[in-house]
Amino acid sequence: MRAQTLPAAAGWRWIVAGLAIFRRNPLTFSMLVVTYWFTVIFLNVLPLIGAVAASLVIPGLSVGLMQAARNLERGQPIGLQTLYGGLKENTRTLIGLGALYLCCTLGILGASTLADGGDLLRYMLASSRAERAAVEDADFLLPSLVVMIMLVPLLMAYWFAPVLAAWHRLPIGKSLFFSFVACWINWRPFLAYSIGLLLFAGVIPGLLLGLLLILFPGAASLIAGLVMVPIALIIAPVIFASFYASYRDIFGISEIV
């Protein structure tokens, strides 16, 4: 297992590649992303075990979306079996990754209590509006900054970990290690990629929405439904496909887009 060091411009190319992959079957790919969302939402509404169950299956579902992107690039069909098929690839390791990610995330949120006495944690775990209102006046800037700083290395370790575990049969430790190293040595393209995602998924849709609201000030809700929902169904699949493009390029997988 060897990760290649890529130039900064590669980060922009991942978004372009994601768009090219999405265009091969936009309707079905969007349907898979929506199914992914609804699966996670459905699990989260289950009492007691819902949030834990969602965390355990997210790595496998993300592998399913990566597989869908790979199939589209290779001209192969995709469907619901592609999404849920990711759960069958090295299942024990994927579940372990989900459990470890949940524990690490809770640990990071717990560490934020050192900065604010637990206000941010209580706000995020609040189950009612009244519980949130009790702490909504707290200053979340410092604890949020602590959480963001601590989340960066965690996200680096998990960026490629599910697909390395599923497709390369790596154990938990090695998949996390190789993912972290791959992100570390490619910080320049990931920085460019982050800027590109900010423009693609944030600035451009925001400018479009703002322009439409200026032109049609009395139709805000209608515009949100008719414009932003379709945009989200384009942006999200492109982003997932760009995840695959980053894996393909960094680990030297030869594919043709």
Q: What is the pLDDT of residue 149?
A: 87
Decide: 22 and 234 in contact? Cβ < 8 Å: yes
Q: How many CA atoms lie within 13 A of 241 on its CB side?
A: 29
Q: Give Cα 46 distance to the centre of its chain.
A: 22
State how far the Cα of 124 lies from the Cα of 140, in Å rounded to an integer: 11
Locate the domains of the chain by residue range.
Answer: 10-250
In DSSP notation, 16-49 reads HHHHHHHTTSHHHHHHHHHHHHHHHHHHHHSTTT
Q: What is the pLDDT of residue 23?
A: 95
Q: pLDDT tens digits for 111-159? A: 777 766 666 666 666 555 655 555 565 566 677 787 888 899 999 999 9
Quick one: CA dihedral 160, 163, 169, 171, positive or negative?
A: positive
Q: What is the pLDDT of residue 256?
A: 43
Q: What is the pLDDT of residue 139?
A: 62
Q: Which two tokens stand for residue 25?
A: 């079957």
In DSSP notation, 66-114 reads HHHHHHHHTT----HHHHHHGGGSSHHHHHHHHHHHHHHHHHHHHHTHH
Q: What is the pLDDT of residue 44?
A: 87
Q: What is the pLDDT of residue 257?
A: 39
Give CA angle at 244 (241, 248), nearest 5°.
Answer: 140
Ranges of residues in the chain with a pLDDT under 50 are 256-257
Q: What is the DSSP letter of 224?
A: I
| Contacting residues for 181 by C-beta, under 8 A, at least 6 apart | 3
DSSP H/E element including 138: none
Q: What is the pLDDT of residue 178?
A: 96
State how far the Cα of 177 lies from the Cα of 99, in Å rounded to an integer: 17
In DSSP notation, 168-217 reads S---HHHHHHHHHHHHHHTHHHHHHHHHHHHIIIIIHHHHHHHHHHHH-T
Q: What is the pLDDT of residue 213?
A: 79
